[in-house]
Amino acid sequence: MLKRKEFILGAAAGLTLAAAATAGGVINWPGAHAEPQAVNRITPVPANGDSFTPPPGAPSSFATIFDQVSPAVVQIDVTVKVDQPQGGGAFTIPGLPFQFVPPQGRGGQGGDEPQTTQGAGSGFFISQDGFIVTNNHVVADATEIKVKMSDGRELPARLIGRDPATDLAVIKVEGADFKYVSFEETAEPRVGDWVIAIGNPFGLGGTATAGIVSAKARDIGGAESPYTDFLQIDAAINRGNSGGPTFDIHGRVIGVNSAIYSPTGGSVGIGFAIPAEVAKRITSQLMRGETIERGYLGVQIQTVTPDLVGALGLTEGQKGAYVGEVTAGGPAARAGIQIGDIVTAVDGQAVTNNTELTRRVGAAKVGDSLRLDILRDGRRQTINVRAARRPAEAELQGGPQGGDETPSTPDAPSGAVVEGMRVAPMSDALRQRYSVPADVNGVVVTDVARGSKAGGLGMPAGVVILRANNRAVATPAELEAAVAAAKAANRPGILLLLRAPDGNRSIVLPLSTGE
């Protein structure tokens, strides 16, 4: 599963935050200290007939659009503290997939000043009095923010607010009479419509790229990007473009460039922008100084896939969100939700995947009572849960923290081999070897055969199998019995609940047919 990372400068293989912003139609933003003046309001090019019919000559040149809107787009430079180990060795810059070796003479000895690095992104003015929209990952860890405008001016900026869950942030520079743009809300872009992106790729400010809307309503990160259906565009987006605006053919902001999918870290024509409707709603709240609050149940969930249906022996075509972990003491735990439950509806509205459940719960206010229809052991029932306030994303994604390295690494017991996995019952030695918390119990995977089904899934040693076929397992024999039962029922796979360093997760392990 693609996992969202906090990227300041770089773009990693796979899904990579690229840095983006937003611009578009005309709106009145809260917090403006003066009424917008016509001289500073960037007016979209008049449309001919249909709201997305390009004006004459549009496909041959985007020069007029660029001239109109580029004064509202800015380069954002940030200074970021990075953790450096003692001894001045290599260390990791937040968001970059490689290690950084500091120049000689700047090695971080014990009493030295904290090491810093520079990052860059994009943004755009959304009001005349200096409010700027960008990505959260551009400014989240910044100790200093500077804005460079298209006319060459450089201004210090301060953070107003940010929302990691949608990767949006608002910063502000002091002053007035700034050229600004607005979000387009009334006209929906279509797949195939022209777009133009303006930003600061690789520090090259004022860069324009053009393309089309390639797809809509992309879910690019599952639980890591649960509140946004992204626009997919093929206008080139690279590192430094994050937070910059995506314009339509009339110069209206339809999205904020936020991520790319790339095996190389550079643009391959697959970019993602936060739609204007989401961007306006979130950034307007941030401009008012509000904190973005969402409902919370305290469960880890995944979509019920055909593999999961087969492994659990469910009715073909069953939809819903499978509960893989329940947070102790959370709203769901207090209401009686259990691991293995499948949520099929919220307040009478069907749930077909994990994203739908996350958004329904997120839209609830703190204290709202939610009626969940669930499937448990083949029986349907209803449970009422009172939503709590969703914790900060950093807290949710932090996961269990491992302790210091132990002085010695004990040998793992030989154990038994089940479906290509060598497994052993939990012991003090295995807890020490794999840093397993004291309250976690199950069967420990100590080795995986390369040619096995488990090896094909990339299952590492140290994973703890907590449940098999929705039943707790504590010994290799219990795991073997669960596998035998699944085979006897002619199921193609077995559902395993695993404990990994970043939390519980459920997988379907395809079963071998030669045993």
Q: How far apart are CA 262 and CA 359, in angstroms?
A: 27
Q: How far apart are CA 121 and CA 72, in angstroms?
A: 15
For residue 441, the surrounding DSSP H or E stretch is none
For residue 505, the surrounding DSSP H or E stretch is strand 503-510
Q: How far apart are CA 274 and CA 257, in angstroms?
A: 6
Sequence-ordered list of residues with C-beta below 8 angstroms from that of 47, at least 6 positions apart, any chain: 53, 55, 250
Tokens describing residue 153: 């001016």
Q: Which residues of 192-206 are buried (b: 16+ CB within 10 A; e: fewer)?
A: ebbbbbbbbbeeebb
Cβ–Cβ under 8 Å, residues 206 and 73: yes
- The dihedral of CA 243, 246, 247, 252: what is its sign? negative
Cβ–Cβ under 8 Å, residues 269 and 233: no
Sequence-ordered list of residues with C-beta below 8 angstroms from that of 129, at least 6 positions apart, any chain: 31, 32, 33, 34, 175, 176, 178
Sequence-ordered list of residues with C-beta below 8 angstroms from that of 441, at least 6 positions apart, any chain: 426, 464, 466, 474
Active-site residue set: 137, 167, 242
Q: How far apart are CA 44 and CA 113, in angstroms?
A: 49
Closest alpha carbon to 248 in 48, 65, 27, 19: 65
Alpha helices in 301-435 (DSSP H): 306-312, 331-335, 354-362, 393-398, 428-434
Closest alpha carbon to 347 in 336, 335, 361, 333: 361
Closest alpha carbon to 53 in 249, 290, 222, 277: 249
Closest alpha carbon to 403 in 426, 431, 427: 431
Other CB atoms within 10 A of residue 143 CB: 10
Sequence-ordered list of residues with C-beta below 8 angstroms from that of 471, at least 6 positions apart, any chain: 478, 482
